[in-house]
Amino acid sequence: MPKERKREKGEVHEKFWERTVREAFKNDPLRIAIELIKNAADSYTRLEKRGSAKPPFEIIVKLYCRKRKQPSITVLDNAEGMDSKKLKEALKYGTQTSMGEDTEAVTSAEKGIGLKDAMMALKNNWLITVKDDLLNERNKHLNFDTGIGKEDEPISKQERKNLGIKSNGTVVMGVFPDFLRERRFSTICEHLQQHFLMRKLLENPKYKIFVIDGYTNDKMHLKYNPPKTEEQILDELFEIDYNRRKHNIHLSIYKSVEELPQGKPYGKSGLLFYYGDYTVVDFTFCRLERNLSFSKCFGEVKMEVEALIRDPTEAPLVDEKRRGLDSEHPFNKILFDEINQRLKELEEKEEASRYSLDNATKKEVLRELNKIYKEIKGTGLFEPPIMPMTFAFYPVYVSIKEFEPKTISLVINSTIVNDEFEISLQTTNPDIVIKMPKKISIQEKPREKFLVKHIELYSEKAGAKGEIIASRWPYTLESEKMGVEVLVNPIFSPENDFAFVPDTTSIVDGGKKNVELCIEKNLIKQYRRIDLSSSYPVICPGEWLLPETKEKLQKYVVKNIVRVELPIQVKETGHIGDKAIIEAKYKDKISNLKVTVVSEPSIAGLFRDIRPSAKTTERICSFIQDEGILEIYYKHPLIKKYMVKNFRRCQSFLVFIADTITREVLRAFVETGVKENSSKFPIFDMNRPESEIEDHVVREYYEKGPKFHELFIYLAKTFKIGKED
């Protein structure tokens, strides 16, 4: 410990400093140590920026801890050091020396508290610094007096050895104030590692901060371990326009795998605001601190505010008591608003992610909905690709497979439709059958310019050729014809009389499907067992038993073939692109099916997704037509009230929810149908269609309502609420 040789009077009243120092550190006394560590790091950074030093940079923190005594600390660096002039300046009130990691800054963003305050908070403090072989020692008293020890004295080898300064450097020492509660070396180390102000510095590989137990010489390298990340949920670069200058802000938010502790100084859930490489100024969620939606979130905000800091006329960004960013500073106000806006969006998503519907059920319901919509609106072409003067087939020639029906279209110009309009359909080859309709009759004059009528063709005779003739005979001689050819259906000629048809197929990742195994009828005698095996990741039953009696087997017989549908499925997900083989064996016959796992195609149609939403609206659900998404608002008071544990047993509530969704879905059907000019929803007065749309919705509700109720009750039962199970 140096000896005080003289004293210089302080520039301000001692009470002022007592209060300032206490205010600054009383709630978080470890910041005294952090301030000194950061000063050392800044000094190294300045050296590096001048090209005088290369990383790694070591900072040694020595702690002397005793159970019943206040711990004392020594922070040592081998950085710039200070001469007497700079030292005097650094410890003077209202100094504006170049501080911080930014060499061009006149002062740091944290004006008001710094080295002086940290020193004054330490009892019996001393700052010993060596620059150009000259030693300087000074201390600070609580009344702001400065004590002076050696001043510009040449340093001896022994002194260097005692201090641990090889060339230039600084040592700051002192005893922690009584408001530091921590007494144990390990606890202080742990807290230093967890402290938000240290995180960026500890993450920076350029700096190595070692803490040494002064009594045992135990050495610990401080490191910060960030929470285990599940995913990055936001990575955005935006600008803040402040005082005609643009400041880049890089916001990154991550989601951890587990819930994180919140709050300063050791919490992990929050946003770390920093500038430069490691200068942390705050750790907050900008007014959303206690929001449970962010309990798993953490991140950082890199602020390019150097220009703002360099401006001596600008108020500091950090509040006077150094609690964090000054919320009254106009720059911070804009910054918080921008971040809040993004956090709100994330909150909605995050909250919604805690409410979910069973994915498989949801997809099933979506497919069913889209199917029903197609049925209601009509499956034909919205707009005929051809516009005949009278009527015409589309396409004009078709190839069909034996035993497989196929639908073709007849496009009719409505100008030729009069009362009791009729077109008869005939086939020139009796082997080619018009399954339905045999004739086309139109009772009322249609509103559309062109009508599309569907005709189903069928044939059991491969190789047959013929024509379908549409005529208005005996009324007129007009007729139209289309050519038809019947192709061999590959299922009737399985290779080796026992084969998968086709022998290659694809399956959705994690999905199920049936594949067809075709067996020549005469091959089946007494033996009923088909052995099945599959390779990973596709699974199938180990065997398949054919019906025992001929009568039962007859159900599977088409022409000369027994068609067996075998279920296969992909074990779990994550196998896109994988290939597998299914082997079927019957007596001495073997057939292989090559299966490729593919990604699931997106759901096409009017409805593409159903999702729980955190929006606060007066409605229970709403269909977002542009996106094709049916949103269910779980913040609705009725949902909040009734959708609690065991709601699945509450039939009346399920019916109520299903009915509400049914009405919304049917309205979406009708409104979209009208928009797409579907002939199923004729509108008399196009200028005021609302009441007519309502009539259509009511009609559809009576027709389709019960089916939809069933569908949505089934879906509602899979709704998961928050942390349930």
User: Which of 1, 292, 386, 604: binder of another protein (CB under 8 A)?
Assistant: 386
- DSSP 8-state assignment for residue 167: S
The residue with tokens 């600390």 is 73
Binding of residue 257 to another protein (CB under 8 A): no
Cα distance between residue 69 and residue 90, in whole Å: 30
Binding of residue 387 to another protein (CB under 8 A): yes
Q: Total residues at the site for another protein (CB under 8 A)? A: 16
Whether the Cβ atoms of residue 173 and residue 39 lie closer than 8 Å to each other? no
In the complex with another protein, the residue whose CB is nearer, 384 or 537, is: 384
Residues 479-498: x where in contact with another protein by CB under 8 A, - otherwise, as a string: --xxx-x-------------
User: Which of 11, 230, 235, 383: binder of another protein (CB under 8 A)?
Assistant: 383
In the complex with another protein, the residue whose CB is nearer, 437 or 483, is: 483
Residues 52-81: x where in contact with another protein by CB under 8 A, - otherwise, as a string: ------------------------------
Burial class (CB in 10 A: 0-12, 13-18, 19+), 627: exposed
User: Which of 397, 473, 475, 536: binder of another protein (CB under 8 A)?
Assistant: 397
Stretch that binds another protein, among 129-137, 392-400, 425-433, 491-499 (CB under 8 A): 392-400
In the complex with another protein, the residue whose CB is nearer, 382 or 473, is: 382
Task: Assess whether the previous peptide bond of 177 is cis (omega < 30° from 0).
Answer: no
CA atoms within 13 A on the CB side of 510: 8
Site residues for another protein, window 195-214 (CB under 8 A)? Answer: none
Using alpha carbons only, give the angle 467, 468, 474 rounded to the nearest 5 degrees: 120
In the chain, what is the straight-line distance between the N-terminal and C-terminal CA atoms, in Å? 63
Minimum Å gap between C-beta 247 and another protein is 21
Whether the Cβ atoms of residue 504 and residue 554 lie closer than 8 Å to each other? no
In degrees and rounded to multiples of 5, residue 369 shows phi and psi of: -60, -45
Q: Pairing relation of β-strands 69-77 and 512-520?
A: unpaired
Cα distance between residue 668 and residue 571, in whole Å: 37
Residues 442-481: x where in contact with another protein by CB under 8 A, - otherwise, as a string: -----------------------x---------------x
In the complex with another protein, the residue whose CB is nearer, 366 or 392, is: 392
Whether the Cβ atoms of residue 468 and residue 453 lie closer than 8 Å to each other? no
In the complex with another protein, the residue whose CB is nearer, 62 or 472, is: 472
User: Which of 263, 388, 446, 689: binder of another protein (CB under 8 A)?
Assistant: 388
User: Which of 385, 430, 463, 706: binder of another protein (CB under 8 A)?
Assistant: 385
In the complex with another protein, the residue whose CB is nearer, 222 or 482, is: 482
Whether the Cβ atoms of residue 610 and residue 665 lie closer than 8 Å to each other? no
DSSP string, 500-544: ESSSEEEEETT-EEEEEEEEEGGG-SS--EEEEEE-TTEE--SEE
Whether the Cβ atoms of residue 609 and residue 565 lie closer than 8 Å to each other? no
Stretch that binds another protein, among 46-54, 105-113, 380-388, 627-635 (CB under 8 A): 380-388
In the complex with another protein, the residue whose CB is nearer, 102 or 480, is: 480
Binding of residue 112 to another protein (CB under 8 A): no
Minimum Å gap between C-beta 385 and another protein is 5
Minimum Å gap between C-beta 471 and another protein is 16
Cα distance between residue 193 and residue 222, in whole Å: 6
Using alpha carbons only, give the angle 488, 491, 494 rounded to the nearest 5 degrees: 105
Residues with Cβ within 8 Å of residue 590, at least 6 apart in sequence: 498, 583, 584
Residues that bind another protein (CB under 8 A): 383-390, 392, 396-397, 465, 481-483, 485
